[in-house]
A and B are shown apart, each in its own frame.
Chain A
Amino acid sequence: MRYAMAVDTIKCVGCNDCVVACQTENDVPIGYCRDWIVEKTTGTYPKLQLEIRSERCNHCANAPCVRTCPTEASHYGPGGIVLVEKNECIGCKACITSCPYDARFVHPEGYVDKCTFCIHRVEKGQNPACVAVCPTHAMIFGDLDDPNSNISRAMATRKWKSLIPEAGTDPKVFYLI
């Protein structure tokens, strides 16, 4: 089982519903976010191109945060989801500086926090909160090892990219383009 997410940059309108759903579902402290919207404008006026992405932890298969963690607080959970065990985290912030996506932050209670792919929902067979609320159905979550899952089919039929693959982290969040 290899959990992954695909975000359709053509369907995404940047409404921030995924951000709010995550903050509500996961009790993310005010002023922080585990997922966020990025708008990238390329070109020179009037020939402009806009790409909107909903970004989060990439749940890398070769995660630098897991490698640099001195206590095994950062670890691979079920299906390759990268998780932080808060009672093992000492708050040294090595994982924060090692993440090329800057997806982590220090929770006001001291431990390091980030996207969990809503593992508590996934374990019950539900979609992560961001995927569940997306009004344009721009996000797909599923198992890459299952060739019939929605995500495997989307990635087989659409063009896609991942973010800074050259950093060698083998990210598991993909962007359909």
Chain B
Amino acid sequence: MIEEIITSGRMNPEIDPVLHAWGWEIPLYLFLGGISAGILIFSAYFSLRGRQDELPVAVKWMPLAVPALIGIGLIALLLDLSHVFYAWQLFTNIRWESPMSWGAWTLMIITPLSIAWLAIWLEDIFPKWDWKFDEAKAAIAWLKGQQRNLAKVLILLSVILGMYTGILLSAFNARPFWNTSILGPLFLASGLSASAALVAFFSKSEVEKRLFTRIDIMLISIELFMIVHLFMGHLAGTQVHIQAAQMFLGGPFTVPFWVFVVGLGLILPVFLELLELKHKFIPAIVPVVLIVAGNLMLRFIVVNAGQASRWLY
């Protein structure tokens, strides 16, 4: 047997022995960004279909949470920046090749638009709401006139927001586990699934509950399919990709990923949701907590596993 021992004199903080440039901030942001994107996509899509009165939680109520979720996500992102007082430099450049630049610009546009979207629905959900000033009333009236255009723009931007959280990672060829373009659609599907589960949980209407439970079952099935493909792609790849996959197939991430993310976060809730559709009594809180926790854990595991995978030389 040929043995190879590599001894390196480098011991830079956060780089050695295992890269840990990104801590809890990035996965938390990826999670919040994914859910926000999911909420906005459902809200905008079903409002375009004219189903706002049939599906009030999905279209009118859920967008209330979005600015807060994005806000917490932005705080997490700022906490991650080690040279934070230069953060404005993000907006002096448009870098097409940098997913980080895409994300900064998307967030800058989608945050105010998500507030405008929420403002459109305030009078519907709080009948006593009064905008007080005539200028505000005029602005809201104008926004309501633009509702369909706003919905279309929001769908586009939300898909970018939901996808880029995965593309951000897959653009790094240096980290073999991340270097698969399926992460973008996987994160989009998982953000959509968490927001569908939240709609089904908060909704009081049987029609809305059943519709979003069915949507969620479909999305989780797609997620499971993409997870299988993620590993198939890695196992058919180069040695470093196979080693990256093996962290999940017997390595340190095996139990957290397959038991908690796939087992408790995807397969068990999809099973519970199927029982719910067959009118079996399932406490509504159980599937939603499992799905949201699995969602968060997926982000943490993917961010950490990517940093643990590397080229060897």
Contact = CB atoms under 8 A, between A and B. Distances in A.
Interface string A141-177: 0000000000000000000000110111000000000
A44 B92 CA distance: 55
Contacts of A100: 173-174, 310-311
B2 interface: yes
Interface range for A: 35 or more
A29 B92 CA distance: 30
Contacts of A64: 172-174
A98 B86 contact: no
Most buried by B among A92, A100, A104, A163: A92
A96 B21 contact: yes
A33 interface: yes
A36 B11 CA distance: 9
Contact of A164 (B92, B93, B311): B311
B3 A42 contact: yes
Contacts of A111: 82-83, 86
B286 interface: no
Contacts of A98: 171-174
A163 B12 CA distance: 20
Contacts of B282: none
A12 interface: no
Contacts of B12: 31-33, 102, 105
Contacts of B86: 71, 87-91, 111
Q: Is the interface of A mostly helix, strand, loop or mixed?
A: loop
B1 A93 contact: no
Contacts of B22: 93, 97
A97 B19 contact: yes
A40 B90 contact: no
B95 A36 contact: no
A89 B83 contact: yes
A106 B174 contact: no
Given A68-B97, A111-B82, A31 B171 contact: no
In the A-B complex, the 5 residue pairs with the closest CB atoms: A91-B82, A91-B83, A36-B10, A70-B101, A100-B174
Interface of A: 16, 19, 31-33, 36-44, 55, 64, 67-73, 86-94, 96-100, 102, 104-106, 109-112, 163-164, 166-168
